[in-house]
Amino acid sequence: MDHFQYRDGVLHAEDVAVPDIAAAVGTPFYCYSTATMTRHYQVLAGSLDGTGARICYAVKANSNQAVIRTFVELGAGADVISGGELRRAMAAGAAPDTIVFAGPGKTRDELSQALAAGIYQFNVESEPELRLLSAVAAEMGKVAPVSIRVNPDVDAGTHEKITTGRKQNKFGIPIDRAMEIFDLGASLPGLAMLGVAVHIGSQITDLAPFEESFDRALKLIDELRAAGHEVSRCNLGGGLGIPYGGEAPPPPAEYGKMVKRLTANRQLDLVLEPGRVLVGNAGILVAGVIHEKHEGRRFIIIDAAMNDLIRPAMYDSWHDIVPVRAPAPGAALTEADVVGPICESGDTLAKGRHMPPLAPNDLIAVRSAGAYGAVMASTYNTRPLVPEVLVHGGQFAVIRPRQSIDDLLALDKPPPWLAATLE
């Protein structure tokens, strides 16, 4: 469920008409719904009631500080992948002791930054990282809280580019080496070996891979405890999918029921790292129609492009696309490709969609764009980053302003031998 609905034939974000936002900020723009994010968080948290699970919002899904703050105020911590995301999470109000630092390539500086902040946990993904974290912590006189991220060699059944739990993926330590790595960590200074972490991918629409990976992680914890390691934490990662098109992911209630069944009576502090499931359906990308082109095919050319939303080009992903003003009853729907103005054939947001006639300046909305949309955007073709807008009931606010061409040009610093040419 989301809070983008038609009222009197006009798409609304909660109680705000989308054309009113477009008139104020121009197109294209991202629009997020506070009510949708709140509902999704509360449904997931409710499904885990009684487990004591800590929900750490995966900042990589949408890193706008207003979005992070929304989840912090609901009770979430943060899952970060870089020093920059750590700063964002803390700037948005996340307490350091609610932050998990994941990712396979943490630098010395990032480890130092996180140790100085006093984060809840490092998800360590390799032996070299473990040794580096030990060295940095010892130098700083700190003790780093560690969970070892294991690779359970489970196929999540998701897109090749977002699966992370198979042995050929770059993530985690092979589960059959986990005991060895735990023993090593226990012998190194500056480390507190506290837990096991597992995360097998994103946009997973079947509970079976989750259950298989969780079961392997929990059995490992039993083995570690039997060997004398005092394991008190289990990080179950994220990855629960959303319905972009024809997918039918399990509801959070079923996911929560499975987590409860597998972890009952295990005396573990649980951590989850949801991202897409909280923000994906809470956002839309609104674009204006430039014109239609009919040359053997019908092309609807819009002012949003692959630099604004790269998921269709990168993952062949499906996003529902709807007119912001509902078509007149009986309007003919004909097949069209929805494309952007970038000089790439890959700049196609959708192919073969049945769309009503659209005139220049009409508005369309690309749905389920709240996750991995704005956060993956670029300035390719010198196209400035578009604004992000947050709606709360009948109010809306720009939470990231539109970049200007001048902003982009100012980032270029010509060398002395070219300065005269560029002035």
Q: What pairing do the DSSP bridges indicate for beta strands 99-101 and 334-339?
A: unpaired
Q: Is 271 in contact with 234 (CB distance < 8 Å)?
A: yes
Q: Is 147 in contact with 233 (CB distance < 8 Å)?
A: yes
d(CA 157, CA 163): 8
Q: Which residue has the tokens 């912001």?
A: 324
pLDDT of residue 217: 94
Task: Say yes or no: do domains 4-31+280-409 and 34-276 share a fold.
Answer: no
pLDDT of residue 193: 98
333 pLDDT tier (thresholds 50, 70, 90): very high
Mean of pLDDT values over 233-238: 94
CATH architecture of 34-276: Alpha-Beta Barrel (3.20)
pLDDT of residue 166: 40
Catalytic-residue membership of 31: no
Enumerate the domain spans of the chain.
4-31+280-409, 34-276
pLDDT of residue 158: 47
* Residue 232 confidence (pLDDT) above 70: yes
**Residue 107 identity (one-letter amino acid):** T
Among 179, 155, 183, smallest CA distance to 169 is for 155
Residues 19-58 pLDDT 10s: 999 999 999 999 999 999 999 999 999 999 999 999 999 9
What CATH number matches the domain at 4-31+280-409, 2.40.37.10, 3.30.830.10, 2.40.128.20, 3.40.50.920?
2.40.37.10
Residues 129-156 pLDDT 10s: 999 999 999 999 999 999 999 988 775 4
pLDDT of residue 417: 87
Residues 273-322 pLDDT 10s: 999 999 999 999 999 999 999 999 999 999 999 999 999 999 889 999 99
Mean of pLDDT values over 397-423: 87
Return the percentage of the chain with pLDDT > 90, whole number.
Answer: 83
- The interaxial angle of helices 83-91 and 65-74, nearest 10 deg, is 60
d(CA 343, CA 392): 37
- The interaxial angle of helices 108-117 and 127-140, nearest 10 deg, is 50
pLDDT of residue 85: 98
Mean of pLDDT values over 198-222: 91
Can you give the pTM of this predicted structure? Answer: 0.94
**Residue 328 identity (one-letter amino acid):** A
Residues 74-126 pLDDT 10s: 999 999 999 999 999 999 999 999 999 999 999 999 999 999 999 999 999 99
> Within a 13 Å sphere around the CA of 196, how many CA atoms are in the beta-carbon half?
30
pLDDT of residue 200: 86
* Residue 17 confidence (pLDDT) above 80: yes
**Residue 162 identity (one-letter amino acid):** I
Q: Which one of 31, 56, 234, 343 is the catalytic residue?
A: 343
pLDDT, the chain, mean:
93
d(CA 68, CA 390): 12
